[in-house]
Structure 1
Amino acid sequence: MSSSVPISPSQPLLHLWSAVELTQAFADGQLSPVEATQAVLAQIERCEPRLHALYALDAEAALAQARASEARWLRGQPLCPAGLDPRLSLDGVPLTLKENIATRGTPMPLGCAASELRPAEEDAPPAARLRETGAVLLAKTTMPDYGMLSSGLSSFHPLTRNPWDLSKNPGGSSAGAAAAAAAGYGPLHVGTDIGGSLRLPAGWCGIFSLKPSLGRIPIKPAYAGRVAGPMTRSVDDAARLMAHLSRPDWRDASSLPQQSIDWQDLKRDLRGLRLGLLLDAGWGTPASAEVSAVVQEAARRFEQAGARVEPLAPFCSRAMIDGLDKFWRMRSWLDFRALPPERQARVLPYIRAWVEGAADLAADELFQGYSQMQALREAAVAACQPFDYVLSPVSPEPAFAAEWASPLNDPARPFEHIAFTLAYNMSEQPAASINAGYSAQGLPIGLQIIGRRFDDLGVLQLCAEFERLRGPQRPWPVDLVVLGG
């Protein structure tokens, strides 16, 4: 194969090809993994000086992986783990991993200049599973300090921007992954989420992401609410990633047992499904009129396809959120307090201001705060139980200023924008973000689709049906601009 291999005239932008399209072209001998990787690296070279989505990019290593994959495809022996349908192969497909997903030999700064840069000793479970597929790891993606912001602002990385409008924020904490997906840095990206860190940047960057049920994708370290998940430009690609990421790994003691799930089965009859519609989270920043209108239009499309849509009343209280805030602050304060003063000074000032709020918390306040996590879990499960699925906004407003740490940019009110996403981390339910429309300024607006615990495939199926109901989207922002600039 050579660089003269013709590219389909219907999709001349090779760096925007899906994983499904790439592997089919590899199998047919119409395209080489080397060409696919070269096309993505060229797009990175064009955009990365302004986007700043990547960390630890290694073009030579990526090309070496692509050449090895090319040889396997030429032999008719692409990698695909035992037990998986060979059609699910990801051999030779370019991908990125969020910076906090350990890859052997690469330091993990966790987005923070206070971190000590030590090479990781082993691959975390998501990295290990994807290495086994023969996929081409291009780079890690950026995140804010300790993953504690819904922002591309970091004390370690350059400011990550939103490819739809460089003056806007991509969100976070999976900031670089969302920006990279939207800008055409290959089809497959993996991020993490503990309160909205997959879904918020996905919504603000117009891509698709699934926060799976807790334990569906093994991860290390594992703790309450934390999951890894796919970030892609299509539901089909995310489903293919799930087939690999959900394979077992004993290192995650909270991971679910191996299940036989047909991740390729993305068809769903919508007739008769009962869908809840949540437009008021009960706390936090209210959804703007523009966001509400886009979500309501999505609900109407489901109704037209035969689903029943009913309003869902708010189920979260301010006491739940304030309690959880206290617990999270204390956890981060203990980590911050353990740093020597010279390293404390390198932490982003917004984060320092937030964690210092826990310095004087009493033990009873901390315990009461921890107990609110269970209260939030029970409230979310009870509210969703009458419905097959729930629809809501992902975030209350479109993307905000690139330089801000959060939509309010106020460490005293850090969580107001995660009112629609946070509950489902605590309840361990699957929840996805899928683009549903655009603001008057052309910024994406995400729709969240939530399922009952363990119904990850059902959420993917509903999202795949919405892709069909939604119809064609606007072209991806491969040429970066500042709107109005």
Structure 2
Amino acid sequence: MDTPLYALSAVQLLERYRARSLSPVDVTKAVLARIERWEPSIHATYGLDADAALASAKASEARWNQGTPQGELDGVPVTLKENIATRGTPSPLGSAATVLSPAAADAPAAARLREAGAVIVTKTTMPDFGFLGAAPSSFHALTRNPWDLSKNTGGSSSGAGAAAAAGYGPLHLGTDIGGSVRIPANFCGVFGLKPSHGRIPVDPPAAARVIGPMTRTVADAALLMKVVSRPDPRDYMSLPAQDIAWEQLGRDVRGLRIGLWTDTAGGWPIDPEVKEAVLAAARLFEQAGAIVEPLTDWTTLEMRMGMAHFFTMRCRVDLAAMPVERAKLAADYIHAAGEYAGSLSPEETFRAFTRMQALRAATVAATQPYDYVLSPVSPVLPFAAEAINSGPENPLKDSHFTSVFNQSEQPAASINCGYAASGLPIGLQIAGRRFDDLGVLQMAAFYESVRGAQAPWPEPM
């Protein structure tokens, strides 16, 4: 059976555009129709402008007909998380407390996409200020997981994960400061890459915050990286421009030393189905000749509480900067975080920063002996759609395996590695040394080639 136009990969679309066997207009119409079918159930989009998308697709069609494509992504549909600014569209940051003002300019990633001819179809949803590894937002309707509408997409790139799984075109961009690309990629069964900090220019730049691709295939993520990693002077924390052969994904894993991290220093359990799927993935690396060794959890509760103190204080500062009546519109979880931060002394707030630095140092030291590290993305399966985490008994556990690599600035990816008995996806995290973004993509491409057949993508009811 022919693959529907909305489900074709970016690589496939470009091949057919070059052959003049497919029009960007037909593809964009198919994506818009797919969105129309799914949106009443999953609520993944924000700021959808079908007329603008079709106008962009028609301009692309004309360029292809003239044999003058504009760039590497000419005519390929893409979505962007709503905190990645696009000129003229407000960025609510997931919160009803935000004053809505049209963005004055495209953010770096959006600018690179337009330069490459991509068709920006829509923005996607997020929770308040990107604070959660879950979907609930005081501004957006609740985003739901296409695999099971009663389940969470994860966060904070909630809409991007749902959009990729639902077939809203091949390319999606999210942001990640503690797992916000990888957790929804995991929960939604798609591929997600958190690049090395600074690899993709961000405006405004911030410690630990990155932009990353979310796609159905590793090759599509590599194609997207080639475009959005180009330099932009607005990001004074970005890495120097580097000519990386993003398309060279083939690599032999024989002899590579790989750490396998599946335990927790706190002793709390990982879901058995998650752990078994990750162990099975590790065996495939081992069978292909990699040297896989257990890696003991190097983190401490003190380090992780440093992150909690730092980011809850951010909530308190943000709320304090707003008029009282507007601040009241923010989600309850933002107010709870701000109230918690109010109990901290100035000395504890300063120590939060030093503890995060200690976590960074410990992560680099523990992982440096290995070429790559395998682990779960999330220690749990997707939880209830309305929930803000997997349970109050240990709210730090949901980002246990992901947030460390934001602090260390190392690249890390999520790739689907199996399904629970319920049919829900399970993600494998592959992390590499800092700057080895291509290597992480190569490891993901290897695993993608050996993991076996995947379940059919979910369909709207």
In the superposition, the TM-score normalised over structure 1's length comes to 0.94
Residue 321 (structure 2) aligns with: 338
Residue 288 of structure 1: how far off its partner (Å)? 1.1
> Paired residue for 2:285?
302
Q: Counterparts of 1:285 and 1:128 in 2: how far apart (Å)?
A: 44
Q: Higher mean Cα deviation, 284-293 or 383-392?
A: 284-293
- Between Structure 1 and Structure 2, how many residues are aligned? 461
SS in 1 for 2:203: coil
2 CA distance for matches of 1:444 and 1:467? 15
Matches within 5 A, 1:284-323: 286-323=269-306
1:211-250 matched pairs, under 5 angstroms: 211-250=194-233
The residue that corresponds to 2:330 in the other structure is: 347
- Per-residue deviation, 1:47: 0.6
Q: Say yes or no: does 1:453 pair with 2:453.
A: no
Q: Secondary structure at the match of 2:109?
A: helix
Could you report, residue by residue, the CA deviation over 1:218-271 in whole angstroms, capped at 9, with x for unpaired residues?
A: 001111100000000000000000000110001000101111110000011111
Match status 1:183 vs 2:166: yes
Alignment pair present for 1:258 and 2:241: yes
| Matches of 2:83 and 2:343, distance apart in 1 | 30
Equivalent position of 1:163 in the other structure: 146
Q: Residues of 2 paired with 1:56 and 1:285: CA distance?
A: 41
Q: Which amino acid aligns with 2:436?
A: D
Tell me, in whole angstroms, the C-alpha distance in 2 between the residues paired with 1:285 and 1:57.
42
Which residue of structure 1 lines up, in the alignment, with residue 99 of structure 2? 116
Three-state SS of the structure 2 residue aligned to 1:293 is helix
Equivalent of 2:127 in 130, 133, 144: 144
8 Å contact kept, 1:96–1:190:
yes
Corresponding residue number in structure 1 for 2:409: 428
CA distance in 1, matches of 2:347, 2:172: 41
1:437 to 410, 415, 418: 418
Counterpart contact for 2:258–2:290, Cα < 8 Å: yes
CA distance in structure 2 between the partners assigned to 1:72 and 1:362 by the alignment: 60
Partner residue in 1 for 2:2: 10
The alpha carbon displacement at 1:337 in A equals 1.5
Say if 1:44 and 1:185, in contact at 8 Å, map to a contact too.
Answer: yes
Name the counterpart of 1:54.
45
CA offsets per residue over residues 184-223 of structure 1, 9 Å max, x none? 0000000000000000000000000100000000001111
Q: Could you tell me which amino acid in structure 1 is paired with residue 2 of structure 2?
A: S
> Which one of 5, 21, 33 corresponds to residue 12 of structure 2?
21
- Identical-residue share of aligned pairs (%): 60
Tell me the residue number matched to 2:88.
105
Shift of 1:286: 2.9
Secondary structure of the structure 1 residue equivalent to 2:221: helix
C-alpha separation between the residues in 1 aligned to 2:24 and 2:268?
A: 45
Q: Which runs of 5+ in 2 are unaligned?
A: none
Q: Which moved more, 1:327-336 or 1:259-268?
A: 327-336
Does the 8 A contact of 1:33 with 1:67 survive in 2? yes
Distance 1:97 1:450 in 2: 24
Answer yes or no: is the 8 Å Cα contact 2:53–2:120 preserved in 1. Answer: yes
Task: Give the drift of 1:339.
Answer: 1.6
Out of 360-369 and 58-67, give the one that drifted further: 360-369
Amino acid at match of 2:362: A
How far apart are residue 338 of structure 1 and its match?
Answer: 1.8
- Per-residue CA deviation, residues 432-456 of structure 1 (Å, 9 max, x unaligned), is 0000000010000000000000000
Q: Distance in 2 between matches of 1:138 and 1:107?
A: 15
Cα displacement (A) at 1:414: 3.4
Q: Quote the RMSD (CA, aligned, Å).
A: 1.1
Q: 1:364 pairs with 333, 347, 357, which one?
A: 347
The aligned residue for residue 483 of structure 1 is none
Q: 1:416 aligns to what? A: 397
Q: Secondary structure of 1:49's match?
A: helix
Partner of 2:62: 71
Whole-Å separation in 1 of the counterparts to 2:216 and 2:25:
21
- Does residue 479 of the first structure (1) align with residue 460 of the second (2)? yes
Instruction: State which of 461, 468, 472 in structure 1 corresponds to 2:449.
Output: 468
AA of the residue aligned to 1:447: L
- For residues 267 and 87 of structure 2, the distance between their equivalents in structure 1, rounded to whole angstroms, comes to 40
Counterpart AA for 1:354? A
Secondary structure of 2:234's aligned partner = coil
Measure, in 2, the Cα distance between the counterparts of 1:325 and 1:378: 18
SS, match of residue 279 in structure 1: coil
CA offset digits 1:117-149 (Å, max 9, x no partner): 001111111111101011100110000000001
Which residue is 1:275 aligned to?
258
Aligned residue type for 1:196: G
Residue 285 (structure 1) shift: 5.1
State the SS of the aligned residue for 2:29: helix
Correspondent of 1:35 among 8, 21, 26: 26
- In the alignment, the residues of structure 1 paired with residue 108 and residue 415 of structure 2 have an alpha-carbon distance, to the nearest angstrom, of 26
**What CA distance in whole angstroms lies between the structure 1 residues aligned with 2:163 and 2:310?**
32
Shift of residue 343, structure 1, vs aligned partner: 1.2
**Structure 1 residue 405, shift from structure 2 partner:** 1.2
